[in-house]
Amino acid sequence: MILNNMSSQVCSHLAWRFREWYRNKKLLSAVAAPPFREMFSDMVKVSADDSDSHRKPFVIYSCHDVTLLAFLYAIGAGE
């Protein structure tokens, strides 16, 4: 019962905390830039492939929700 009553406060605090963390440009860069670089590098490799092969790579990326949150802040989603 107590946990149920606190859930709104906990969610509110976590949302505030992540907003504060990801408004910090240094932290946002440290979290979002490396995966963005990797994805960009993969896109460049595929687009530069001049071989006759029609086979394109299929890449699945996986990450935690906090990394996705960093991506969203980095691209300005929701602003």
pLDDT per position as a tens digit, 10-42: 888 888 888 888 888 898 888 889 888 988 888
Q: Is 23 helix (H, G, I), strand (E, B) or coil?
A: helix
In a domain, 23, yes or no: yes
Task: Tell me the residue range of the domain where 24 lies.
Answer: 2-74
- Rg of the chain on CA atoms, in Å: 18
CA angle 59, 65, 70 (to 5 degrees): 90
What's the pLDDT at 42?
84
Q: How confident is the model at residue 53 (pLDDT cuts 50, 70, 90)?
A: low
pLDDT attached to residue 37? 92
Residue 21 lies in a domain: yes
In a domain, 79, yes or no: no
Q: Model's pTM, two decimal places?
A: 0.59
Number of domains in the chain: 1
Rounded to the nearest 10 degrees, how much is the dihedral formed by the CA atoms of 6, 12, 16, 17? 30
Assess if residue 37 is contained within a domain. Answer: yes
